[in-house]
Structure 1
Amino acid sequence: MAAVTDRINGLARRIPTGVVWAGATIPFVWLVWAAATNQLGADPVKAIELKLGLWGLQFLLASLCITPLRRLGLNLLRFRRALGVMAFFYIAMHFLAWVVLDMGLRWDEILRDLYKRPYIILGMVGLLAMLPLAVTSTNPAIRRLGPARWRRLHRLAYVAAMAGAAHFVILVKGWPAEPLLYAGAVAAVLLVRVRLPRPLRA
C-alpha cells in the first residue's frame, strides 16, 4: 500500500497545477459549444443550470477530499486551490445562469421565486459561503490572515457543501437516487474529515 501511495504522490508532483486548471475549464467550454450548437435538448437553459450546479458540487467535493486523502498518505494538496476556485466558478455561473438566462434579470420574479422555492435560498447560502473562500485563495491573502485564521475561515466550505447538497435534494422532485448520493457523499466526506487523525508533523 505504501508503495502505491508513494507512486501516486510521485506522479502528482510531476503534474503541473496548470493541467488541473486547464482540465477544469473543459466542461465549461463544452457547455458553451453544446449550447451554441443546440445540443442541450428541449430546455437548454435548465440543462445549463443543472450541469453548472453539478460540476460546481463535484469540484467542491473533490477539494474537500484532499485533506482526508492526505491523512491517508496521498498528498494532493497542491491541487486543492484549483479545485476550490473552480468549484466557486461553476457555482457562480450556475447562479448567473438562473438570474440572467432563466429569470431574465426580472427582479420581481426573482424575489417571488425565492419566496416560493426555499431551495434557491439554500443555494445562495452555499454561494455566499464560498465567496470569502475564493477571495482569500491567494498567497498574499493567506499571509495576511495567517495560517490558523485562514483554516478557520475555510471551514465555510463545509457550509457550502451541505447547502449545495440540500439545494440539489430539494430541487429534484420525487427523491431520485442521484441527489441523495451526492448528499451521502458530502456527509461521508465531512464525517471523515472530522474523525480521521491529523498527520504527525515532522
Structure 2
Amino acid sequence: MTFFSNMMNKRRFWPHLAAWLPGLWLVWAWQSGNLGINPIQAATQFSGRTALTILAFSLACTPLNTLFGWRFVLPWRRPLGLYAFVWATVHLLFFVWVDYGLDWAALHLDVGSKPYVWVGALAMIVLVALALTSHRWWMVRLGRRWKALHRLVYPAALLVLVHYFWVVKGNFLGLSGDVGRPLGYTAVIVLLLVLRVSAVRRKIAHLRGRGLRLWRGITRRNDTLHRVS
C-alpha cells in the first residue's frame, strides 16, 4: 500500500509514469501485432532504447538541479536508476529467452560473431551491482565506497552507447550506418556528464546566483516604481 501511495504522491508519480508507459505500449504493440515483420527484434531494440532513455533521465536529475535549482527532481534519481535496470533486464530477457529460447549452445556459437553482446553484458554487470546496492542499508555499510561504486554509472552509460552503436551496425568514426539515434543519445549523455564535472557545476551555480540576484534587483525596482506611480 505504501509503494502505491508513494507512486501517486504528487511529483513522485512522474518517474513511475515515465517507466510504466513504455511497458504498457510494448504489451499493446506485442499483443496487437504492431511491431512490424520482426516483432522480437523490434521489442528487443525498444526495451534497450527505453533502458537507455530512463538511464539518461536518471543522470539528468543532478544537472537539472544545478542549472535551474529544481531540487524536487533529486529524489527521482534512485527510482529512475532502478527502472533503467529493470528495462535493461527486459532487454536481456528478450534477447536470451524470447529470441534464443534459452538455447545456450546456439547463443554461445552466435555471440562470438557479435562483440556488442560482450559490451552490453559488461554494462549489465555494472547495472546489477548498482541496483543491488541501491538500498540505504548498503549506503551506510559501504560509506564513502558507496559513492565511488555508484559513479560507475557513468562508464556504464558509455558502454551502453558503444553497445548501441554496434547493434545498429553503425561506424562511429566514419558516421556510416544507422547512427542518428545513437549520436543523439551520445550528445545528451556526454552533455550530462560534462554538467556533472565539479568545476562546471560551480561555474553554473555562480552564474545562476548572479542571475537570481539581478532578477530580484529588477523585480524590487519595478515594485518600487509601481508604488511610486
Q: State how far apart, in whole Å, the 1-side matches of 2:191 and 2:49 are.
A: 18
Q: State how far apart, in whole Å, the 1-side matches of 2:15 and 2:186 are.
A: 25
Deviations 1:88-140 (A, max 9, x none): 00011101100011111111221122210111111111111111111111222
The answer (yes or no) to whether the contact 1:68–1:196 under 8 Å persists in 2 is no
Match of 2:59 in 1: 64
Match of 1:151 in 2: 147
Q: State how far apart, in whole Å, the 2-side matches of 1:123 and 1:100 are.
A: 16
Identity among equivalent pairs (%)? 35
Structure 2: gaps of 5 or more residues:
1-8, 170-176, 207-229
The answer (yes or no) to whether the contact 1:85–1:134 under 8 Å persists in 2 is yes
- 2:115 is equivalent to residue 118 of structure 1: yes
Q: State how far apart, in whole Å, the 2-side matches of 1:169 and 1:92 are.
A: 19
- 2:8 is equivalent to residue 17 of structure 1: no
Q: State how far apart, in whole Å, the 2-side matches of 1:123 and 1:130 are.
A: 10
Match of 2:125 in 1: 128
The answer (yes or no) to whether the contact 1:71–1:196 under 8 Å persists in 2 is no
Q: State how far apart, in whole Å, the 1-side matches of 2:104 and 2:79 are.
A: 33
Deviations 1:37-95 (A, max 9, x none): 21111111011101100000001111111122222222211111111000000011101
Aligned with 1:90 (options 82, 87, 90): 87
TM-score (normalizing by structure 2)? 0.75
Q: State how far apart, in whole Å, the 1-side matches of 2:17 and 2:190 are.
A: 29
Which one has more relative contact order, counting CA pairs under 8 Å at least 6 apart? 1
Largest Rg, 1 or 2 = 2
- 2:141 is equivalent to residue 168 of structure 1: no
Q: State how far apart, in whole Å, the 2-side matches of 1:117 and 1:191 are.
A: 31
Structure 1: gaps of 5 or more residues:
1-13
Q: Count residues with an aligned counterpart.
A: 186
Q: State how far apart, in whole Å, the 1-side matches of 2:38 and 2:180 are.
A: 22
Displacement of 1:26 after TM fit? 1.8
Q: State how far apart, in whole Å, the 2-side matches of 1:187 and 1:121 are.
A: 22
Match of 1:179 in 2: 182
Q: State how far apart, in whole Å, the 2-side matches of 1:130 and 1:80 are.
A: 14
